[in-house]
Structure 1
Amino acid sequence: MFLVASQISESAQLQAFRSLYLIFGFRRVLVSLNNDDMTLRMRVGQLIAFFFRSLLWSINLLLVLYTCIAYWLLYSLQIEHWSASMIMITLPVAWLLNLIVVCLWLMARPWRSWLSGAVVLIGMLLFGSRTFVWHSPLEIKGRGTPVKVFSYNVQSFDLNESWEFYQSSPRIRRTDNYVLRYDAPIKCFQEFYNSTSIPDYDIVKRFRKAGYRYSVLLYPERALVADGDIGVAIFSIYPIVQFGREQFGGSNGIVWAHVKIGNDTIRIINVHLHSMGIRVGKVLDQKGMKGVQRETRGVLSALHSGFTERKNEVDKIEQYIRKSPYPVIVTGDHNDTPYSVVYERMRRILPNSFEDAGRGFGFTYNRLPGYIRIDHQFHDPKLPVLNFETINYIRYSDHYPIVGTYLIK
């Protein structure tokens, strides 16, 4: 019995070992298959990651090349074609995209982030003062008279609808009262409007009663009619001993005045150049793709004509600056950003007041896209700027007022 039981036990043990061997052997096969499957998925994932990294690196190289071309165009002004202006004006967008690329590389391949990072750093060194500055107001040292020059595109004082010509509007009255009461002896306006039919809106007459006895208007005859689109205007408490004007068409143009301050005389040039034509709001308001395409084509066409017209207009401004027998201050709505042919050419003749004495970004446009500075003041080095301010809490118009304080020695 014992022998039979022993033989049975050995047979059962052998069978059990065979079963375990088969089981474990099958598991090894499954593990091997699972490892092959995981390896395949890893390889596919690595291939996809490699593709996107290569794509990002290619885009990165193109973006860096585009940014460097914008640097060269803006720094050298070798080409003043409208297409070159289009590249220059997109420089802040190129900086933003480069910073996004830097962040992406920091998460994937940190060593590759240096390229876009270096390009942005070079741009800040070359053009950073056009973008962001932080100066404290300067104290008057020595003898001299501080004089404020106020400039504001008033958008026709919001008198754009015919029905408003014949009734009172609290918003318009607030705008009128603000520009009349702001404490500055020299005030320059673009898109200036006057209406003799309503006493509140007879702004020219009200300025004279407020002490601004001297003025130069682009269309002086329109100050005598019921609905007068005057355009560009200068008002001064100080005597204006000589003046001139040149019309570009519509409300755009140049007016200049020789202002006598004590024993000194300076030339104030107030300009309103051709519109930029950026109407982002109209594009966004479209509900259908056809409307978006139509408005986009309109914006591009306006940009094209604007770049061409402003290039010709800045030629005339340069002549008024170079022929002036007195130190010059140029102010107004230039309708061009600090990354443009107009700005660079003006900057090569006269220092920019925002760069010398401003604070922050100095954005002056109160509509979409918003984050642009298109109203500028340039000053003669003989008239040092003590302070420059963008009054961005005054939202009566589609522009913010700007004001520079200059020392008349």
Structure 2
Amino acid sequence: MRTRIGLFIGYFFRSLFWSFNLLLVLYTSLAYWLLQELPVEHWLAGMVMISLPLMWVINFVFVIFWLISRPWRGWLSGFILIIGIWLFGPRTFVWHKATEPSSQYKPIRVWSYNLQSFGLDNLEERRQSSPRIRRTMTFLLRQDAPIKCFQEFYNSTAIADYDLLQRLKRSGYSYSALLHPEYAREKEAPVGVAIFSIYPIVSSGSEPFYGVNGIVWANIKIGSDTIRVINVHLHSMGIRVGRVLRQEEIAGVKQETRGVLSALRTGFIQRKEQVRRVEHYIRESPYPVIVTGDFNDTPYSVVYERMRRTLPNSFEDAGRGFGFTYNRAPGFIRIDHQFHDPKLPALNFETINYIRYSDHYPIMGTYGVK
């Protein structure tokens, strides 16, 4: 009798897991279809698409489970994983070597970094120079890139160390385009999105969304050629996984989880509209375009797919590894991106993940300009 009961329990749980496995495969297939075809851009579709990496992990767990108990059943999740690698592998992991430019191209580096306003949330730090902020600003000034783009850029004329606008200008970055130029000479200035260049900016423009989020573009003359650099900071994701994990009671976990889901929904809706404005500035540009910035969306999203259909992604063309750019929990996401015109081939792309001054890592693309 005990043997029969044990067999029945084993059969029940295997059947239950198999049913879950079938539902998981159907869900993963739906995410593939939504991402590949982009038939709808509803926020619910965005939720499904952004969960794709998690679905891959669960499918892999099912493969291991079935290999131990019923090997022939492991083929289903294994097959869906192979399809995912074929369809979306370059979005996730690549390994390219840096390319040397031909004689007709000049290599130009474009640096992008979300500074998190230098972490100056503490009022005391704003009123006096701190070693941490000095190290951060010195690092930014020493980076060898003729075009530097920032999000959540902060400037203060009250303290010389924090007057980064003047320090960049003295370092050779004589040209700039700012989201909020009216704040540039204030004592405490959340300038937001900013572009700095050692090459002449012949024209520029901006479009604020709210606060420090928005778009700044600049037409930059390099020798006898001109390119347009578009720096963006789209609506924040609002994901605060750390807050959920720090909760000790279930009520707190539920409340924080609801807050995360609500922020995700709002973010999907806002960024879907904002990326259309980015596409507008790409279409109306008379020059080849490089788009960089904090998109606050992963490679499995409506925003990324729309941009990818407009311009090639620099990480996919010239990056290495996974390229994760977020320096907070969950940590394994890439939300800072660069896209480039085919006329400006990507020679190299780096995620500088040993720099932890902000909640983002800096990214830098190298492009060939004739």
TM-score, structure 2 normalization: 0.99
| Superposition pairs of residues 3-402 of structure 1, within 5 angstroms | 40-402=1-363
Letter in 1 for 2:341: D
Give the superposition deviation at 1:237: 0.2
Question: Following the alignment from structure 1 to structure 2, what is the Cα–Cα distance between the partners of residues 322 and 372?
Answer: 29
Q: How many percent of aligned residue pairs carry the same amino acid?
A: 68
Deviates more, 1:135-144 or 1:392-401: 135-144
Structure 2 match to 1:407 = 368
The answer to whether the 8 A contact 2:127-2:159 is kept is: yes
Question: Following the alignment from structure 1 to structure 2, what is the Cα–Cα distance between the partners of residues 381 and 80?
Answer: 26
Letter in 2 for 1:242: S
For the residue of structure 2 that corresponds to 1:224, the secondary structure is: coil
Question: Following the alignment from structure 2 to structure 1, what is the Cα–Cα distance between the partners of residues 162 and 153?
Answer: 11
For the residue of structure 1 that corresponds to 2:332, the secondary structure is: coil
For the residue of structure 2 that corresponds to 1:79, the secondary structure is: coil
Letter in 2 for 1:220: P
Q: Deviations over 1:62-116 (max 9, x none)?
A: 0000000000000111110000000000000000000000000000010100000
Letter in 2 for 1:187: K
More helix as a share of residues? 1
Letter in 1 for 2:323: G
Q: Which 4+ runs in 1 deviate beyond 6 A?
A: none
Question: Following the alignment from structure 2 to structure 1, what is the Cα–Cα distance between the partners of residues 267 and 367?
Answer: 31
The answer to whether the 8 A contact 2:275-2:303 is kept is: yes
The answer to whether the 8 A contact 2:129-2:162 is kept is: no
Give the superposition deviation at 1:45: 1.4
Question: Following the alignment from structure 1 to structure 2, what is the Cα–Cα distance between the partners of residues 395 and 407?
Answer: 29
Q: Deviations over 1:357-406 (max 9, x none)?
A: 00000000000000000000000000001000000000000000000000
Question: Following the alignment from structure 1 to structure 2, what is the Cα–Cα distance between the partners of residues 389 and 202?
Answer: 28
Give the superposition deviation at 1:296: 1.1
Q: Deviations over 1:1-59 (max 9, x none)?
A: xxxxxxxxxxxxxxxxxxxxxxxxxxxxxxxxxxxxxxx22221111111011001000
Give the superposition deviation at 1:356: 0.3
Give the superposition deviation at 1:142: 2.9
Question: Following the alignment from structure 1 to structure 2, what is the Cα–Cα distance between the partners of residues 249 and 220?
Answer: 15
Give the superposition deviation at 1:159: 1.4
Question: Following the alignment from structure 2 to structure 1, what is the Cα–Cα distance between the partners of residues 129 and 150?
Answer: 22
Letter in 2 for 1:407: G
Give the superposition deviation at 1:166: 1.1
Letter in 2 for 1:162: L
Structure 2 match to 1:27 = none
Letter in 2 for 1:207: L
Q: CA RMSD in A?
A: 0.6
- Equivalent residue pairs, number: 370
Deviates more, 1:375-384 or 1:281-290: 281-290
Question: Following the alignment from structure 2 to structure 1, what is the Cα–Cα distance between the partners of residues 25 and 307?
Answer: 27
Q: Which has the higher contact order (CA 8 A, sep 6+)?
A: 2
Question: Following the alignment from structure 2 to structure 1, what is the Cα–Cα distance between the partners of residues 251 and 122?
Answer: 28
Higher radius of gyration, 1 or 2: 1
Question: Following the alignment from structure 2 to structure 1, what is the Cα–Cα distance between the partners of residues 326 and 319?
Answer: 16
Give the superposition deviation at 1:291: 1.7
Listed as ranges, the gaps of 5+ residues in structure 1 are 1-39
Give the superposition deviation at 1:326: 0.3
Q: Deviations over 1:327-370 (max 9, x none)?
A: 00000000000000000000001000000000000000000000
Question: Following the alignment from structure 1 to structure 2, what is the Cα–Cα distance between the partners of residues 359 and 175?
Answer: 25
